[in-house]
Structure 1
Amino acid sequence: MISDHRSNLRKAQWETFNISLGPHMMGPMGEDEDPEIEMAALANSLPSTAKTYTPDGLNHIGTFSDATQSFSPSTTHGKLLRSINVVIMSAKINVLLPFGPVSIILHYLTRKHGLVFFFSLIGIIPLAERLGYATEQLAFYTGPTVGGLLNATFGNATEMIIAIYALKSGLIRVVQQSLLGSILSNMLLVLGCSFFSGGIVYWKKDQVFNKATAVVNSGLLLMAVMGLTFPAVLHFTHSEVQYGKSEVSLSRFSSCVMLVAYGSYLVFQLKSHSNLYNPIVNQEEGQIEDDSGEEEVPEVTLWEAIAWLAVLTIWISVLSEYLVDAIEGASESLNMPLAFISVILLPIVGNAAEHTSAIMFAMKDKLDITLGVAIGSSTQIAMFVIPFCVVVGWIMGKPMDLNFQLFETATLFITVLVVAFMLQEGTANYLKGLMLILCYLIVAASFFVHVDPKTSDD
């Protein structure tokens, strides 16, 4: 009995092995075999030392091979080419990039400051726009609030770099007027074009934005106007204790106070009252003002965005040096007032990134982001960049102060009042945008006929 059972078991094992080999190698199978014996024979026929590979194991093998491939030189080269294609080749405005190297060549081959200034100015435009693009890519990894702050900071990097080079060259009036022009450009031209473009797209309705944040920024801008007004009034009324020195001391003290106020504003914006900076709810549709159907994704990685920010900032710094060196000669050769170049032309180039992005957000009915770009940038220049330049001039031994002369100070004061009046209702339309643009044209014409006095007594 036992020997017969063993022989039957071996027979079942052999037939099961034939089944595993496939139909073409399968031998005859008895019709009276017990299925349980066949299954047991199949289990016993498998070797005990055989290794099985699960799908998880195969996935691990694939992951390891991918990781190995990602560190290969060919893959790194491919990622670099892809990043260059996304950042440099995909933007049509980058056809202006060759103007930068041409300006450097003209600087050493010729002494035509007008051409050097013009080519440097044109060459900085695509760099400023790409700097804004890299900042937007970085904002995908930092969140909307920090991203908006980074956008405003790196959006003002061009103005700050130009101001530091001008301060190093002793061109204090160029520093003052270029920073003043950045504030005027953001508050009137950028915001006006954004309101006008959004109003044309949404013709029959008023766009709404968060009025609370606009009120906070307006208050900070009025504080900045106060900080700029007192040194000018003190100087021109000849009521200072030490003529020519008290206004500098007052400017340095006020700059430190303004920096403290801006630091408090950052804490207010990012920590204590961050809920105020959330997008508002659309009262008509009951939804947050966002395109729910469009989900934007970053086009470059985190470290690629940081690397591009560094490269673009360095290249803007190089061109800014040649731009500042040629600005006075360009004013003479082009027969154009230095105040007009500093207040109007330089800020338009520096605000190229903010101008484009603010208009695009307004046309998508995202006015909170538009105000964060335009008014937030103006607030940062007034409360951080200008006091920072005063402190840097203090360190350099340059008499940089907050005395922006009566004409410039009065222009800034009236501009802040006009914009604050436009923002008090929390709505925007094409008429408000058109009014802001026309106000900027009046300001530009005023600086075109304005002659900067040679001395403060004049």
Structure 2
Amino acid sequence: MDKSEMDKINGTNPESTDQAPSLASRPDEFEEEESLVTPDALSARIGGFQIYAGSVNWGVFGSMKIVFLKSKLNVLIPCGFLAIFLNYMTQRYGWVFPLSMLGIIPLAERLGFATDWQISCEVGRLLNSAFGNATELIISIHALSRGKLHVVQQCLLGSILSNLLLVLGSAFFSGGLACGKTMQTFSKADAVVNSGLLLMAVMGLLIPAALHYTHSEAQFGKSELALSRFSSCIMLVAYASYLYFQLSNNRRRNEANVYPCMPLIKRRIQDDVDGNDDEVPEISKREAISWIAIFIAWISMLSYYLVDAIDGASKAWNIPVAFISVVLLPVVGNSAGHANAVMFAVKDKLDISLGVAIGSSIQISMFGIPFCVVMGWMMGKPMDLNFHLFETASLLTTVLVVAFLLQDGTSNCVKGLMLFLCYLIVAASFYVHADPNSKASEKPPQN
């Protein structure tokens, strides 16, 4: 009996034995597919759409559904149209002002949502930084173009005070209650850098005010304005350096980590393995850019009516313009950030809460205020860094209190309650503050 007959009896096939590769020699299917299909090729195949929870966002209607139906705040959007209608039909500014505020709040939240996509880790953070306080800047530019310089100053000041005291205090208090910890911790090094930037911003505002009230200007009215413009340029350079420092550090951290900036699908798989619950952007990059442009234009239109109704609302409600500018206007831009800061603090992600609250304050103080000074310079408006004695003193004490509470890198309910109570004191002080400079701030243009 030959060998072939013996193989047939034993049930073996010599041809199949020779052709079948061993299991060890077979390449892994996933490794082979991963090497053949790159992330860029995969992104090109799906047309730039983002994958979210196993589904793909198809077209304009899907994007509109996500943008307009995913947030409960969108029920306030019709308030903006009602404000425009009342402005032209009745000119009852006591109603136009609150309706404009309510109409802007959901738009500001959706603008933040539209900037929540990432071309890369670094560009994504830069976009979030650039658009984080877009609402306050749009309102300030409208007030600046109307010559309401002190309203601009008080609106930006109120945004800083609201973020440092109300938003941060709420985050500390809520996080301490929800997490059941005696102390929550955060990065002490980042807190020190942020406190230093805030103190630098206070110095930029304090010196022009001191120059004005000590009557030590070389040329009255001109030296103060020239110093403000020079200091604003320096502060913009400092803020640009801060952004570069932050992005460089993030890039180094990403290179040191295993998968911080992975392609979308791999990052989602790894996050599922690690238990991370970070949300994946639900709209494509083109759609995000389009929605950013739409929301900025929409906010700009409503801000026009909002600024125009400030004086009328002050008379109708019998409350000071300073209280409206410092306390009420910041609610428009800070509402979404307030909710996010509290949400992350409840999840024991206090560093993110600090990034929302203190990061917004740094952007307003180191970028927003100098930017408005430069814009006023270009418009021929005498916008300066002299925020007057009462406003500057309020900012200085606020920054000192916050810097003192952040120095140990811990937070608890008591610290949050202290910050919240400090905000109530500041709000009450602006309610009883009779601003002697409200009319003086409407100065004639100077070159």
Q: What range describes the TM-score normalised by the shorter chain of this pair?
A: 0.7 to 0.9
Residue type matched to 2:80 in 1? G
Provide, for residues 357-377 of structure 1, a one-character-per-residue CA deviation record: whole Å limited to 9, x for no partner.
Answer: 111111111111111111011
Aligned residue in 1 for 2:101: 121
Distance of 1:360 and 1:242 partners within structure 2: 51
**Normalization by structure 2: what TM-score?**
0.79
- Asked if the contact 1:178/1:343 (under 8 Å) is kept, the reply is yes
Residue type matched to 1:337 in 2? P
Q: Shift of the alpha carbon at 1:133?
A: 1.6
Q: Shift of the alpha carbon at 1:294?
A: 2.3
Q: Shift of the alpha carbon at 1:409?
A: 0.2
Percent same amino acid at aligned positions? Answer: 62
Q: Does 1:99 align with 2:51?
A: no
Q: Shift of the alpha carbon at 1:185?
A: 0.6
Select which of 134, 137, 158 maps to 2:114: 134
- Asked if the contact 2:57/2:63 (under 8 Å) is kept, the reply is no
Residue type matched to 1:142 in 2? S
Q: Shift of the alpha carbon at 1:278?
A: 11
Aligned residue in 2 for 1:39: none
CA RMSD of aligned residues (A): 2.8
Query: What aligned pairs does 1:263-412 form with structure 2 within 5 A after superposition?
Result: 263-271=240-248, 292-412=275-395
Select which of 153, 170, 178 maps to 2:130: 153
Q: Shift of the alpha carbon at 1:150?
A: 2.8
Query: What aligned pairs does 1:145-294 form with structure 2 within 5 A after superposition?
Result: 146-271=123-248, 292-294=275-277
Select which of 375, 398, 410 maps to 1:415: 398
Distance of 1:177 and 1:103 partners within structure 2: 23
Q: Identify if the C-alpha distance between structure 1 residues 405 and 184 changes in structure 2 by more than 3 Å, giving closer, same or farther.
A: same
Distance of 2:398 and 2:300 partners within structure 1: 30
Residue type matched to 1:334 in 2? W
Distance of 1:378 and 1:277 partners within structure 2: 26
Distance of 2:225 and 2:70 partners within structure 1: 48
Provide, for residues 17-51 of structure 1, a one-character-per-residue CA deviation record: whole Å limited to 9, x for no partner.
Answer: xxxxxxxxxxxxxxxxxxxxxxxxxxxxxxxxxxx
- Asked if the contact 1:152/1:373 (under 8 Å) is kept, the reply is no
Distance of 1:272 and 1:147 partners within structure 2: 14
Moved more, 357-366 or 375-384: 357-366
SS state of the match for residue 115, structure 2?
helix
- Asked if the contact 1:189/1:437 (under 8 Å) is kept, the reply is yes
Query: What aligned pairs does 1:22-33 form with structure 2 within 5 A after superposition?
Result: none
Distance of 1:277 and 1:169 partners within structure 2: 45
SS state of the match for residue 351, structure 1?
helix
Q: Identify if the C-alpha distance between structure 1 residues 295 and 245 changes in structure 2 by more than 3 Å, giving closer, same or farther.
A: closer
Q: Identify if the C-alpha distance between structure 1 residues 148 and 184 changes in structure 2 by more than 3 Å, giving closer, same or farther.
A: farther
Distance of 2:382 and 2:404 partners within structure 1: 35
Distance of 1:170 and 1:419 partners within structure 2: 33
- Asked if the contact 1:340/1:448 (under 8 Å) is kept, the reply is yes
Q: Shift of the alpha carbon at 1:270?
A: 1.1
Residue type matched to 2:353 in 1? T
Unaligned runs of 5+ in 1: 1-55, 57-62, 71-75, 281-287
**Normalization by structure 1: what TM-score?**
0.78
Across the two proteins, how many residue pairs are aligned to each other? 378
Q: Shift of the alpha carbon at 1:277?
A: 10
Residue type matched to 1:165 in 2? H
Aligned residue in 1 for 2:53: none
Provide, for residues 218-272 of structure 1, a one-character-per-residue CA deviation record: whole Å limited to 9, x for no partner.
Answer: 1011011011001111111111111111110110011111111111111211125
